[in-house]
A and B are shown apart, each in its own frame.
Chain A
Amino acid sequence: EPEVTQTPSHQVTQMGQEVILRCVPISNHLYFYWYRQILGQKVEFLVSFYNNEISEKSEIFDDQFSVERPDGSNFTLKIRSTKLEDSAMYFCASSVRKINTDTQYFGPGTRLTVL
C-alpha cells in the first residue's frame, strides 16, 4: 500500500541553523501539507500546497518557513533560522483532492530537536 515517507526521522540542530525536512507524498496525490505537533500538544496546521504554490498557511508559518517541491516526488519544509520553540514533530501529509472532500494521509513524522 502506498504511503507518505519522511526523512530524517530525527533531526538535531543548533539554534539559528537552517534545517530542511523532506517528504515524499503518495505518487498520485496532488495536495500536500505540513503540520507540527509540539510534544504533548495537538497537531497544528502549517501550510498546504497545490499546483506548485501555497494554498493556505497558518499564522505559525511565518517568513522563516518555506516549502518547495523541487522535483516530481519530493516536498520539503525549510526552516531558515531555527529557534528553541521550533522543537516539535513535523508531519507531512498528502491527499488526492482537497481535504474537505478527501482523506489526507500522514507520514511517520520528523522529530526536530533544536538545542
Chain B
Amino acid sequence: AQKITQTQPGMFVQEKEAVTLDCTYDTSDQSYGLFWYKQPSSGEMIFLIYQGSYDEQNATEGRYSLNFQKARKSANLVISASQLGDSAMYFCATSNAGKSTFGDGTTLTVKP
C-alpha cells in the first residue's frame, strides 16, 4: 500500500518569497510517480509537476520545482517568487500501476 504524508496543514508566505511544501511517501514499489496538484477555492485540480522514481534530476516547471530525495522518500514542492494567485490547497500524490494515493493537502496562503 502507498501512503502520502503532508505534515503542514497550513502555510503562510510573503508575496515574492519562496516556499517549500513538504511531502513524504511510503511505498514498496520500485517504479512510481510523484505528483503535485493545486486546488484553488473553485475546486478544480490543476497538475503542477511530475517526478518519476527513476528520474535522477529534480523536476522543474516554471516557478515550481520538486526536491526529490529518494532515499528519504521525500518529494517537497518549492514555489519560487510566490504570487497572490498561488493561494490554494496543494496535494502531493504518488501513483503506481493505475492507482493514485493523495495526501491530506497543505493550504497555502500568500500574504501581500
Q: Chain A residues in contact with chain B, CB under 8 A?
A: 31, 33, 35, 41-45, 48, 50, 55-56, 58, 89, 91, 93, 98-106, 108-109, 111
Q: What residues of chain B lie closer than 8 Å to A106, measured between beta carbons?
A: 37, 44-47
Residues in A neighbouring B20, C-beta threshold 8 A: none
At the interface, is chain B mostly helix, strand, loop or mixed? strand
CB closest chain-A residue, reference B54: A101
When distances are taken between beta carbons in the complex, the residues of chain A under 8 Å from B96 are 99-100
Q: How far is B50's CA from A105's CA once the two chains are assembled, in angstroms?
A: 12
State the Cβ distance, A31 to closest chain B Cβ, in Å.
7
Q: Which of B27-78 contact A (CB under 8 A)?
A: 29, 31-33, 35, 37, 43-47, 50, 52-53
Report the separation of the CA atoms of residues A33 and B46 in the bound assembly, to the nearest whole angstrom. 15
Q: Can you name 23 A-B residue pairings with CB atoms under 8 Å?
A: A41-B104, A42-B104, A43-B45, A43-B91, A45-B99, A45-B100, A50-B98, A56-B99, A93-B45, A99-B33, A99-B96, A99-B98, A100-B97, A102-B33, A102-B50, A103-B33, A104-B35, A104-B95, A104-B100, A106-B44, A106-B47, A109-B43, A111-B43
List B residues at the A interface (Cβ < 8 Å).
29, 31-33, 35, 37, 43-47, 50, 52-53, 91, 93, 95-105
Chain A residue with minimal CB distance to B27? A100
- Min Cβ gap B112→A in Å is 26
Give 10 closest A-B pairs by Cβ, nearest first.
Answer: A48-B98, A106-B45, A55-B98, A99-B95, A56-B98, A43-B102, A56-B99, A100-B96, A100-B33, A103-B50
Does A100 lie within 8 Å of B91, measured CB to CB? Answer: no
Contacts of A45 in B (CB 8 A): 99-102
